[in-house]
Amino acid sequence: MVSKNTPIIIIGAGAFGLSTALHLVRSGYSNITVFEKDDQIPPVYSAANDLNKIVRAEYEDQFYTDLAIEAVQAWKTPLFAPHFHQTGFLHCVSGNAPDKAKDTLKRFQDASNNHPYLKPHVVPLNGKHDIRQLFWQCNGQVPGWKGYMNRFDGYAHSANALAAVHRETQASGVRFFLGEHGTISRIVYKDGKCTGVRTKSGKFHAAELVIVAAGAAAAKLVPEVGSQVVAKSWSIAHVHLTDEETSALRGIPVTYARDLGFFFEPDPKTNLLKLCPMGGGYINTDTKTGVSHAPESLETSAFMPHEDELRVRRLLAHTLPKLANRPLVRKSLCWFADTKDSDFIIDYVPNTASSVVLLSGDSGHGFKMFPIVGDWVRVLLEAPDKKQAIARWRWKESNAKEEKENWGGDVSWRLGESRELKDILPGKTKL
Ligand SMILES: Cc1cc2nc3c(=O)[nH]c(=O)nc-3n(C[C@H](O)[C@H](O)[C@H](O)COP(=O)(O)OP(=O)(O)OC[C@H]3O[C@@H](n4cnc5c(N)ncnc54)[C@H](O)[C@@H]3O)c2cc1C
């Protein structure tokens, strides 16, 4: 058990780190310091520093469905409610979708229909007529689209939610170090136990417990994690609308064709409609170690691969054809921490005498859990046997050389194979 006045350091003020700070401070932990390498929160390096993220409750796996339902309840509490929009989730495949996408969709639909809590919110969709009943602005032909709408789901304004939790935790006494003073260059150990962290600016900060919530950068601070965590990215881009266009699309559901990608209702402040093609994602493997890391500079990631652009334009042509040929702005690859089985990792790092916790492996589906993820860390810290009770969230030994190369291909809910960043950088692709 960790006592309430233990000096605790959290590395990373993204979704998992901020949620942990919130739950720990709310539970009476009184000596918490958060280190973040960006000089602002929401940090530009956080995968959650984004206009929006899907909050959908249904998973193929009931374990996560139940957690997501709990998270949606928490999204409706005062701190989180201003950032949650229950617009519904229109989840389909287009007529040309490969079988893998159709099979995955069917499993999601079955999961929604078979869950007593979700079932009343689910409406089957079979083609244009059904879709327009729920999304009247959709004036494309939606060729062959089939699937369902789940009205229980929606999205969260993720950057604003991060900012709100930052304000709340700071007001509750959590200390924050940002920028050069907040960038952790390494965790410091003595006799197999962590004694604190050293920042890029050279300063040592003592702590009895360090929680690493560094997202895609986990393997840089905890190299022992090996290929358990793979830095992976998906691309996003936006269409800049007029005030009238934004207003006309107010309240549309999150619209997802598994084979083409998804978009959200436009953001009323910026008039940006965000698009994400998903797919198998992009990795950046160090050939010496077999471990993928996010590139150091954000500029390297400031583009959308050509194949992704074609997919999101097709998505718009099917649904909102007026927008299909508009310029795409604010393009980027967004990096997250992937695991082979899409399970999170919330556990003590072995051989650290329970002085370092790794909180990672969000696998691209972690933001919806933002209001509750920190509580899972509290439960681990308060476990009398210092063991992660949930087996699937435990540390797993790994050997990069023995791992299969294509993780993305193994995960049922991702379509397509992972590709190396070096092969898709602008100028490298064969158009
Ligand atoms: C394109 C895309 C779409 C997504 N869509 C969804 C979705 O629809 N629904 C959903 O639920 N989830 C979604 N996700 C996943 C979601 O964004 C992540 O699950 C979530 O952001 C993970 O939180 P995290 O705290 O682990 O990492 P992050 O939010 O990335 O935060 C990590 C933080 O650690 C900091 N850091 C790293 N190294 C250091 C260091 N050395 N010193 C100090 N600070 C450091 C970084 O600057 C960063 O702020 C998506 C992800 C991507 C990439």
Q: Distance from the CA of 48 to the center of ligand 1, in angstroms?
A: 5
Q: For a substitution probing ligand 1, which of 19, 34, 35, 46 has the most ligand atoms within 8 Å of its CB?
A: 46
Identify the pLDDT of residue 411.
Answer: 67
* Burial tier of 165 (Cβ tally within 10 Å: 0-12, 13-18, 19+): buried
Q: Could you give the domains of the chain?
A: 1-51+157-228+339-398 (3.50.50.60), 88-154+230-336+401-431 (3.30.9.10)
16 Cβ closer than 6 Å to some ligand 1 atom: yes
218 Cβ closer than 6 Å to some ligand 1 atom: no
Identify the pLDDT of residue 410.
Answer: 59
Identify the pLDDT of residue 1.
Answer: 81
413 Cβ closer than 6 Å to some ligand 1 atom: no
Q: For a substitution probing ligand 1, which of 108, 200, 336 has the most ligand atoms within 8 Å of its CB?
A: 336
Whether 134 contacts 88, CB under 8 Å:
yes
Residues 386-416 pLDDT 10s: 999 999 999 987 555 555 554 445 566 677 7
- Provide mean pLDDT across the span 116-137: 98
Identify the pLDDT of residue 430.
Answer: 44
- DSSP state at residue 380: H
Ligand 1 atom at minimum distance from 359 CA: 26
Per-residue tokens: 261: 């990608």
- Provide mean pLDDT across the span 267-288: 95
213 Cβ closer than 6 Å to some ligand 1 atom: yes
Q: How far apart are CA 287 and CA 289, in angstroms?
A: 6
Residue 103 has pLDDT above 70, yes or no: yes
366 Cβ closer than 6 Å to some ligand 1 atom: yes
Task: Compute CA distances 44 → 13, 183, 215, 298, 361, whole Å.
Answer: 11, 13, 13, 9, 19
Percentage of the chain beyond pLDDT 90 is 91
Q: How far apart are CA 109 and CA 104, in angstroms?
A: 9
54 Cβ closer than 6 Å to some ligand 1 atom: yes
- Provide mean pLDDT across the span 313-341: 97
Q: For a substitution probing ligand 1, which of 53, 201, 235 has the most ligand atoms within 8 Å of its CB?
A: 53
Residue 249, Cβ neighbours under 10 Å: how many?
20
Residue 431 has pLDDT above 60, yes or no: no
184 Cβ closer than 6 Å to some ligand 1 atom: yes
CB within 8 Å of 203: residues ≥ 6 apart: 181
254 Cβ closer than 6 Å to some ligand 1 atom: no
